[in-house]
Amino acid sequence: MTELEARQKIVDIISSWIGCKQGDSVHKSIVDTYNNHKPLAQNYKVKYTDAWCATTVSAAAIKAGYTDIIPTECSCARMIDLLKKNNIWVEEDSYVPKPGDIVFYDWGDSGSGDNTGHPDHVGICEKVDGNDIYVIEGNKSKACGRRIIKVNGKFVRGFGIPKYSLKTNSKDTVSKPKLPKKVKINVSNTLNIRKGPSTNDTVLGFLKTGSVVTIDKIENGFAHFTGWISGKEKYVKK
């Protein structure tokens, strides 16, 4: 998994909750995901009637398996304290976030200088398009929804920047500085060609060692030419 894929994983999770409303089954599952994770921050079990923006960010981290890089909390202020403690906090309002970064707000921000006030709300950056930051938030008008804010805009409090690079595993994929790329097959016997990027997909044929193919896509640890083959470096050499 590349860093971009690691970031997209948590974005996909929180975006799947867009449209849920406080009190519905999806909202309750978000709260339950948070409450079932141990250790429970502050030993506090979140109620379905509590504010749930930080709980949503934490639940997305739990679902993604990212609690080692994103501290879980149901309080925006305490979450910031933990981000600072882990040296993954950006105080500068003008920072341009990446997908998966955590965006905090302060509704009391005057819009002048670097805001250091009490945080009121939080979400996860979905993407940045030009000067627009797209943020997905729980408890946005008691629902999960998308907000668009400006880079260095009013109400920005700061950013959490999890170390998604720690969730990558480059050894399992073909290095891909540029694609398409010619590679040579290096196996003791043969390498299966599959219909899709999974060992569960149908075997269409095989390649012998020394065969040369042109890779045009990498997915799920598999490399594609006319079919899919394992992308492990011990099988595929540049």
In sequence order, what DSSP letters do the residues of 183-230 get, joined into one string?
Answer: EEE--SSEEEEESSSSTTSPEEEEEETT-EEEE-EEETTEEESSSEEE
Instruction: Identify the CA nearest to 149 among candidates 109, 190, 204, 189.
Output: 109
For residues 131 and 47, give the distance between their C-alpha atoms in angstroms, rounded to a whole number. Answer: 37
111, 21 Cβ separation under 8 angstroms: no
> Of the candidates 130, 147, 167, which is a domain's last residue?
167
Q: Which domain holds residue 129?
A: 3-167
Instruction: Write down the pTM of the prediction.
Output: 0.72
Give me 192's structure tokens. 């299966």
Residues 210 and 143 in one domain: no
Instruction: Round the average pLDDT of the chain to a whole number and report it.
Output: 91
Domain boundary among 152, 167, 182: 167
Residue 163 and residue 198 in one domain: no
54 and 158 fall within a common domain? yes
Checking DSSP bridges between strand 190-194 and strand 203-208, what pairing results, if any? antiparallel
Q: In what order do the strands lie in the sheet with 217-219?
A: 203-208, 190-194, 228-230, 222-224, 217-219
Q: In this structure, are 15 and 132 located in the same domain?
A: yes
Number of domains in the chain: 2
Query: Do residues 214 and 110 both lie within one domain?
Result: no
The total number of residues written for the chain in this structure:
238
For residues 59 and 154, membership in a common domain is answered with yes
Same domain for 177 and 119 = no
Helix (H, G, I), strand (E, B) or coil at 228: strand
Residue 153 and residue 175 share a domain: no
CATH of the domain at 179: 2.30.30.40
Q: Residue 229: name the closest of 177, 179, 6, 212 by CA.
A: 212
Instruction: Dump pLDDT digits (tens) for 34-48.
Output: 999 999 999 999 999
More confident residue, 215 or 85: 85
Tell me: do 110 and 23 sit in the same domain. yes
pLDDT given for residue 171 in this prediction: 46
Per-residue pLDDT tens over the stretch 56-81: 999 999 999 999 999 999 999 999 99
